[in-house]
């Protein structure tokens, strides 16, 4: 037994001293292998008397257990040291740049159009569209601007060559040709006519899209974006118009202190006609919408035109003006985008400069939702 104890001690010492898995394995074979001294000691049990065996066996088993545990412990130790060494050798410089994940953007006009759709959907408005190459009748006549109407002159219209002048049907009267003369829509209002003709009343739509005026300077481009709003029902009045615009601007700018001012104006397709202003303050060189326009440091800014749809327009669109009435409004999308997101140059909107688009564009994951708020913070 003493011999066994001594051997155990020697083996444990050697296990403790092993620095490689191979050395450890050698010790395992020497002790626990088929011909190892522990195995050999166990084999001696067969030649013993039962009483003797009863006495010696537990001792040998204990030694075997002790050695095996020591080997396992040492093995774990050596393996984790080896792993650490391997990991240390695999260290890389993570301050080196990684490949860029390409980053795209959504144009501010598209983003704002999505915001408009989201807000107005909550108020029950659908989004309607119409052609940009429009005929004279839908753009003017049906909006109560006949051929000789002076308001037409305010529209700076882009025209396409008159079909009649190119040898069109000589049988058609000059008036009929005039009605069909093609032009680029000067406003989104013709969509009112088309939508009412298609759907009748009651109706709630917004119609965002491109519009065109022959006008170009620092604040005007010959193409820009407008959104039309139209509500026709039985008892709609100017108070509903005011609420709708206020409610929209509050949701759009995400502030409760929006103050709206209506001012009388004139549009042939509405009666009464009003322009709407919002209060704003100058902060630095930026206009910040909010507050009362007459408050100190504040002023009013015109944002669009609106009014109660003229009964002649309803008639043109096939809606009974004695049964239905309602309001329409129009406002510039580029304009409210600039106000909200702080751009100052309209021309840059249409330049396709990736530097501008990266800066003012939106992450595709900033999909406007009511629950998150329709605005995207920088």
β-pair partners for 289: 280
CB of 64 or CB of 185, closer to another protein: 185
Residues of this chain, 175-214, that bind another protein according to CB under 8 A: 182, 184, 210, 212, 214
78, 109, 163, 177: residue in contact with another protein (rule CB under 8 A): 109
Instruction: Give me the helix-helix angle, 108-122 and 333-341, nearest 10°.
Output: 100
Half-sphere exposure of 244 (CA within 13 A, CB side): 27
Residue 100 binding another protein, by CB under 8 A: yes
Residue 365 binding another protein, by CB under 8 A: yes
CA atoms of 274 and 264, how far apart (whole Å): 4
CB of 147 or CB of 257, closer to another protein: 147
What is the DSSP annotation of 337-364? HHHHH----GGGGGS--HHHHHHHSB-T
87, 88, 92, 101: residue in contact with another protein (rule CB under 8 A): 101
CB of 141 or CB of 244, closer to another protein: 244
Residues of this chain, 79-98, that bind another protein according to CB under 8 A: 96-97
Task: Please give the angle made by the CA atoms of 312, 317 and 321, to the nearest 5 degrees.
Answer: 50
Could you give the string, one character per residue 320-359, with x where binding to another protein holds by CB under 8 A and - elsewhere? -----x-----------------------xxxxxx--xx-
Residues of this chain, 36-55, that bind another protein according to CB under 8 A: none
**CA distances (Å), origin 27, targets 5, 10, 65, 83, 119:** 16, 10, 14, 22, 78
8 A C-beta contact, residue 209 and residue 132: yes
CB of 61 or CB of 216, closer to another protein: 216
Pairing between strand 325-332 and 298-309? antiparallel
CA atoms of 293 and 300, how far apart (whole Å): 5
Which tokens in the block code for residue 74?
């040492």
Round the CA-based radius of gyration of the chain to a whole number and report it.
42
CB of 83 or CB of 133, closer to another protein: 133
14, 33, 265, 292: residue in contact with another protein (rule CB under 8 A): 265
CB of 80 or CB of 174, closer to another protein: 174
Q: How far is the CB of 325 from another protein (least distance, A)?
A: 7
24, 196, 275, 328: residue in contact with another protein (rule CB under 8 A): 275
Residue 244 binding another protein, by CB under 8 A: yes
Stretch that binds another protein, among 19-27, 46-54, 81-89, 360-368 (CB under 8 A): 360-368
User: Cis bond leading into 155, ω under 30°?
Assistant: no
């Amino acid at each position: 037994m003493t011999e066994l104890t001594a051997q155990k001690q020697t083996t444990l010492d050697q296990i403790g001293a092993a620095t490689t898995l191979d050395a450890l394995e050698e010790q395992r074979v020497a002790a626990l292998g088929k011909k190892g001294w522990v195995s050999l000691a166990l084999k001696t049990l067969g030649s013993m008397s039962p009483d003797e065996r009863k006495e010696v066996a537990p001792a040998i088993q204990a030694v075997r257990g002790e050695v095996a545990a020591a080997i396992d412990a040492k093995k774990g130790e050596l393996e984790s040291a080896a792993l650490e060494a391997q990991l240390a050798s695999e260290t890389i410089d993570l301050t080196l740049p990684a490949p860029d994940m390409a980053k795209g953007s959504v144009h501010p006009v598209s983003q704002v159009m999505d915001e408009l759709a989201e807000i107005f959907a909550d108020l029950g408005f659908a989004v309607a569209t119409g052609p940009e190459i429009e005929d004279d009748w839908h753009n003017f006549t049906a909006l109560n601007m006949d051929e000789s109407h002076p308001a037409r002159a305010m529209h700076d219209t882009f025209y396409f060559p008159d079909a009649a002048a190119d040898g069109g049907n000589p049988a058609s009267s000059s008036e009929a040709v005039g009605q069909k003369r093609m032009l680029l829509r000067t406003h989104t209002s013709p969509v009112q006519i088309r939508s009412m003709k298609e759907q009748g009343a009651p109706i709630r739509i917004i119609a965002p899209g491109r519009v065109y005026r022959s006008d170009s300077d620092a604040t005007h481009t010959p193409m820009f974006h407008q959104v039309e709003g139209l509500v026709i029902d039985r008892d709609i009045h100017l108070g509903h118009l005011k609420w709708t615009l206020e409610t929209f601007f509050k949701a759009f700018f995400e502030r409760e202190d929006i103050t709206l001012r209506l001012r009388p104006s004139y549009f042939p397709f509405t009666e009464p006609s009003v322009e709407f202003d919002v209060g704003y303050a100058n902060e630095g060189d930026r206009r910040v919408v909010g507050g009362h326009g007459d408050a100190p440091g504040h002023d009013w800014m015109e944002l669009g035109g609106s009014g109660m749809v003229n009964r002649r327009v309803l008639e043109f669109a096939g809606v009974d003006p004695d049964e239905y009435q309602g309001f329409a409004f129009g406002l510039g999308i580029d304009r409210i985008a600039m106000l909200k997101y702080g751009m100052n140059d309209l021309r840059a909107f249409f330049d396709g400069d990736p530097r501008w688009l990266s800066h003012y564009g939106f992450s595709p994951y900033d999909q406007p939702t009511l629950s998150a708020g329709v605005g995207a913070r920088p």
